[in-house]
Every structure is written in structure tokens, then in C-alpha cells.
């Protein structure tokens, strides 16, 4: 982090609608707050497995609440998340491992593209309800984010490399070390200590702790 700026890390997976909300809010605040936002693509499946957590929708009452909650937050933050009951099956039936490896590969070679690329994955999955585990959809997302076809091909080839697989695994393990049990996990490094915030509705609290 630059002198005097607070490093804020956002651990996210594009399968998570709350991660999209947290991502958009932090992307707005980084222009207003004295923070360095570091986007950390990680794998939600790995975090759930390691911590014994279960998707909220597995508890019917919690699933019901989540539908209303995501809709309210989407409206409040003006983020085009579309959610309905059928989405829970869709989430369980889609692996975002390929997408998150693609994003991780981008982080390794051109991190400047991380924000638009991640946003397009969320739009495709949560606004357009497309299956982002399919290669042609991954390439369509990359095109939409402004990547050249050469760069997209390079990233596709990198998906299966040990370097990318290990990087995603390490980032996921790092989130767990900070205490993450779900996503988004936001870690603010303040006064020499990491402060973990879970979810997208604790950002005012984050602000108050770092003096914003």
C-alpha cells in the first residue's frame, strides 16, 4: 500500500452475488476513501469445504430471506443482480473453478484488467443467467471486458497450468487464514493488524475502523 493508505483486500468468487455487491461498493469507495483496494480472486468451494460451511439456501428459511435481501441490496446499490428461486439450483450446478482460474491468470499477467473482467463474469452469471463454466462463455466474457483474442487464448491455456492452480489455492488458503468462512471476505490492514469483515453489509463498519 502507498504511504498512509490502508490496504483493503477483497477475497471473492463470481458465483457469489454478495461478492458482486461488495466488489461494486468497494470499487466506488476506492476513489473516495484513502485505501488501496486489492482484488483477490479465490475459490468459494474451497473455503466452504475447509470450514464446514454450507450454502445459505440449504436452509429454506434462509434461502427465502436471501432472495429478498439480495433484491433489496441490488436496488439500493444499483447493481443489476437478478435472483430467483431457480438460481439456487443453478449455483449448486455450476462450477466457477474455470472462471476463477481464468481471473487468477489475468491477475498474474495483467492485474489492471481484473476489475472489468470480474465484473463481466458477474454480469454474465447474475444478470444474463449464462453458464460461465463453458469455454465459449468465458471467451465471450473476456471479449466483453475488452481483452484481445490473443490474450484470451493465452489465459485459457494458463487455466490448466500448475502455476495458476497453485495461485488460486494459495489465495483461497490465505482467506481462510484470515478467518474467512464464506464470501465476500474483506480484510483491512490497519495499525499493523488484519481486520476481517464478512459480507457486503459491513462496509460502514470497515470505514469507521480505518477512520473513514
Whether 127 is catalytic? no
The active-site residue out of 16, 19, 118, 152 is: 16
Q: Torsion-angle region of residue 156: left (phi > 0), alpha (psi -120 to 50) or beta?
A: alpha
Where does residue 120 rank: exposed (0-12), middle (13-18), buried (19+ CB within 10 A)? buried
**Which three-class secondary structure state does DSSP give residue 186?**
strand
Q: Which residues pair with 198 in a beta bridge?
A: 185
Q: Where are the beta strands (DSSP E) in the chain?
A: 6-12, 35-41, 185-190, 193-198
CB 25 within 8 A of CB 54: no
| Catalytic positions, written as ranges | 16
Amino acid at each position: 500500500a502507498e504511504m498512509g493508505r490502508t490496504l483493503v483486500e477483497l477475497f471473492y468468487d463470481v458465483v457469489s452475488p454478495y461478492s458482486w455487491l461488495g466488489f461494486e461498493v468497494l470499487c466506488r469507495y476506492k476513489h473516495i476513501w484513502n485505501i488501496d483496494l486489492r482484488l483477490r480472486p479465490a475459490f468459494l468451494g474451497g473455503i466452504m469445504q475447509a470450514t464446514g460451511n454450507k450454502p445459505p439456501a440449504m436452509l429454506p428459511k434462509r434461502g427465502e430471506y436471501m432472495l429478498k435481501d439480495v433484491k433489496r441490496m441490488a436496488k439500493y446499490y444499483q447493481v443489476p443482480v437478478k435472483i430467483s428461486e431457480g438460481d439456487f439450483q443453478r449455483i449448486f450446478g455450476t462450477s466457477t473453478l474455470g472462471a476463477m482460474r481464468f481471473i487468477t491468470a489475468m491477475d498474474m499477467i495483467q492485474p489492471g484488467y481484473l476489475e472489468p473482467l470480474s465484473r463481466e463474469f458477474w454480469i454474465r452469471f447474475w444478470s444474463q443467467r449464462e453458464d460461465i463454466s463453458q469455454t465459449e462463455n468465458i471467451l465471450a466474457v473476456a471479449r466483453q471486458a475488452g481483452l484481445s483474442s490473443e490474450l484470451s487464448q493465452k489465459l485459457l491455456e494458463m487455466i490448466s497450468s500448475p502455476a495458476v492452480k497453485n495461485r488460486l489455492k494459495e489465495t483461497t488458503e490465505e482467506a481462510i487464514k484470515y478467518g474467512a468462512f464464506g464470501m465476500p471476505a474483506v480484510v483491512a490492514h490497519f495499525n499493523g493488524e488484519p481486520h476481517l469483515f464478512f459480507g457486503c453489509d459491513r462496509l460502514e463498519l470497515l470505514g469507521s475502523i480505518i477512520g473513514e
